[in-house]
Amino acid sequence: PPNKERKMKASRFQQTQQSRHKKTKGHHLSSRGKHALSLMLCLIAKGVCSYHFPFGPVSCHFPQHSQNPCSGIPMSTRTSKKRSSNASVNVAVASKKAKGNDESSVISSPLFSSTEHFAASPEWKESRCGTLLYLYPPSSPDSVKIAGFDIDDTIIKTKSGKAFATDDLKDWQLWSKPHVKTTLAELVSDGYRVVFFTNQEGISKGKVDKNKWKQKITDAIEELSLTNQVTVLASLTKKENDYRKPHIGMWRFLCQHLSSPNATPNAEGSMYVGDAAGRPKRGSKKKDFSCTDLKFSLNIGRGLIFKTPEELFLKTKDSSDLASLTTSNMGFQPKVHWLEYVDKPFDFVNSNFSDLVSSCGKNGQEVIVIVGSPASGKSTIAGRLISGIIAANAGVEYVRVNQDTLKTVPKCIKATKEALADGKSVIIDNTNRDMKTRKNYIDVAESLKLPCRCVFVDATKEESFHMNALRGANGNYYGEKRTVPDMVVHSFYKNLVEPNKNEGFTEVIKLKVAPGPFDSEDQKSSFYRFTM
């Protein structure tokens, strides 16, 4: 660290040591003692030994630039609010700055928690990109049968009665103490593995303290008498990604990374329980805030049973038939919306698109202007057009001009002129929502006496939102995993001026969104899952 920061740390360390000396009565260490303590802590960090200090937990922070944890240790100590005569040591070793998307800069010793205030279970870990938090106790039982649960308003609820906890650590109680505890014990006895799946974007937003939340869940598991028997997965970001329910990334992660090879979870014979089932108002009970849990279970599919907390714990039948909720109150349903395509082969190609590919190159050079909402599939169309043209040996090279890459319209116009000057045809892959923007490319084509066609991707707003979520979770044609804000999609449709030949186009081709072709059955299945 810089000299200023080093001096500040040294000053804080000295003040802390002086304060500790007053409180611990004789536990103040000499210089040799400090050196010995530092060495021992290094050995602890390496897993060589462990030690219990009589004066409470110690947290040691090592500099990121130090490859050897025993060299140059600026140690800071802090007395825990809760003292214990046999409190264990907390050790965190800063690693070298990670590469790629690895946001983690701390390697936690498997023996200790890296938290300062709350001694949460040492098995809590995060994914490299920091979007998934999970608890996987080493002694967690293996089973192909999963009893999956949402957490909030399913396993626990607030004591305060408010929708969100007023205290991240203390404002909780079991949803229905005797029923929840007894039911989970019965499930474990019947050979189920208990797993919690939860969306916790409040942590990434800073609204919920991560360490307090982990401790709360650890405490709840202890209250259930299921210590070291429950696996927990928590998606930490609201931004669309494959871990966030109703996407099934957490289920995949459980199968691939948190299960033994001979006990891979099987949806058939498993269950999932959650309160977000899309139920309407029921007497004094408000309608469900969403149907995320029901959609999550339907996305996993393959025989997974879905139940509400009332149905499982209280043995009461919901007044609403859950089966009917799959056709009402569910919002956009991909399989229903694209029903005519669901049973087609994954490599099915729509005839309209095939005709478009075959028409390219027949009249020499040209400019194709794509018009469509963000996330409506424009880049996929452009990419597949180019690959299809290459496969057909059309004799004319097509290049893609994209404003997301070039950033400005003038740069796109310049790139278009340069490509045409080189004898290539151009596909303009932008939203091009109004006549003024499209005229830029029509004028370029007319100045060179070249035809200019328009491909209008006639996607509905719901289709665009669905594919936007898929892009965030799985990536687009070019592998980019990013979403656009909902406001951008709304703005496009508000200001859209549909293209027509009178603008100067030689032809306007309208394409409806038709799923496929896909690279595999898995990719096809992913497209038809719930995303919103």
489-505 confidence digits (pLDDT tens): 999 999 999 999 999 99
Residue with tokens 């395509």: 341
262: which DSSP letter?
A: G
pLDDT score for 284: 81
3-state secondary structure of 387: helix
Q: What is the mean pLDDT of the chain?
A: 79
- Phi-psi group of 360: left, alpha or beta (phi > 0 → left; psi -120 to 50 → alpha; rest → beta): beta
Three-state DSSP at 39 gives helix
For position 53, what pLDDT does the model report? 42
| CATH 3.40.50.300 segments of the chain | 351-513
Alpha carbons 532 and 529: distance in angstroms, whole number = 10
pLDDT at 398 over 80: yes
CA dist 339 and 299 (Å) reads 16
Answering whether pTM is above 0.75, one says: no
CA dist., res. 176 & res. 313, Å (int): 8
Which whole-number Å values give the CA distances from 326 to 267, 297, 394, in the listed order? Answer: 19, 11, 46
Give the Cα separation of 88 and 173 in Å (integer). 28
The pLDDT of residue 24 is 47
Q: Which of 44, 28, 313, 327 is nearest to 179 (CA)?
A: 313
Question: Which among 373, 347, 389 is positioned nearest to 484, based on CA atoms?
Answer: 373
Q: Name the band, by pLDDT with cuts 50, 70 and 90, for residue 483.
A: confident
State the amino acid at position 324 in one-letter form. S
Q: Which comes out higher in pLDDT, residue 155 or 110?
A: 155
Cα-based distances in Å from 79 to 298, 478, 512: 48, 52, 65
**CA–CA gap between residue 370 and residue 366 (Å, rounded):** 13
Q: Is the pLDDT confidence value at 59 over 50?
A: no
Residue 451's nearest CA partner among 349, 364, 324 is 364
CA 68 – CA 522 distance, rounded (Å)? 45
Provide the 10 A C-beta neighbour count for residue 410: 10
Residue 211 has pLDDT above 80, yes or no: yes
pLDDT score for 438: 95
pLDDT band at 448 (very low <50, low <70, confident <90, very high): very high
Most confident of 84-93, 343-352, 459-468: 459-468
Tell me the average pLDDT across 456-471. 91
pLDDT at 342: 86
Tokens of 406: 């070039």
Here the tokens at position 289 are 């805030």
> Which range among 116-120, 289-293, 305-309, 472-476 shows the weakest confidence by mean pLDDT?
116-120
pLDDT 10s digits, 243-257: 999 999 999 999 999
Binned at pLDDT 50, 70 and 90, residue 56 comes out as very low
Q: Which residue has the tokens 């329980």?
A: 273
| Residue 3 pLDDT level (bands cut at 50, 70, 90) | low
pLDDT surpassing 80 at residue 223: yes
Of 187, 202, 205, which is closest to residue 216 (Cα–Cα)? 202
In the predicted model, what is the mean pLDDT of residues 269-277? 93
CATH 3.40.50.1000 location in the chain: 132-330
Residue type, 88: S
Over residues 16-30, mean pLDDT: 54
Q: Where are the beta strands (DSSP E) in 1-88?
A: 59-61
Q: Domain 132-330: give its CATH code.
A: 3.40.50.1000
Predicted pLDDT at 46: 47
Question: Does position 221 have pLDDT exceeding 90, yes or no?
Answer: yes
pLDDT value, residue 54: 39
The two three-digit tokens of residue 468, written as one number: 């936007």
- Please report where in the chains the tokens 């977000």 appear, as a residue: 276
**Per-residue pLDDT band at 324 (split at 50, 70, 90):** low
Q: How confident is the model at residue 5 (pLDDT cuts 50, 70, 90)?
A: low
Angle of helix 486-495 relative to helix 461-474, nearest 10 degrees? 150
Write the secondary structure of 327-356 as one string of H (helix), E (strand) and C (coil): CCCCCCCHHHHCHHHHCCCCCCCCHHHHHH
Name the token pair of 88.
Answer: 């264990």
- What phi and psi, each to the nearest 5 degrees, are found at residue 93? -110, 120
Residue 48 in this model has a pLDDT that exceeds 70: no
Higher per-residue pLDDT: 472 or 309: 309
Of 157-166, 167-176, 320-329, the least confident: 320-329
Q: How many helices (H) and strands (E) does the chain have?
A: 18, 17
| 383 or 61: which leads in pLDDT | 383
Residue 122 above 60 pLDDT?
no
Task: List the structure tokens of 471.
Answer: 């892009």
Structure tokens at 425: 């045809």
Contact status, residue 524 vs residue 338, Cβ threshold 8 Å: no
Query: Torsions phi, psi of 263, nearest 5?
Result: -140, 50
For 194, 229, 231, 385, the CA distances from 188, given in Å and listed in that order, are: 7, 9, 13, 54
Instruction: Tell whether the model's pLDDT for residue 182 goes beyond 90.
Output: yes
pLDDT attached to residue 265? 94
- What the block records as the tokens of 500 is 């027509």
Mean pLDDT of 105-118: 32
* 351-513: CATH, from 3.40.50.300, 3.60.70.12, 1.10.10.60, 3.20.20.120: 3.40.50.300
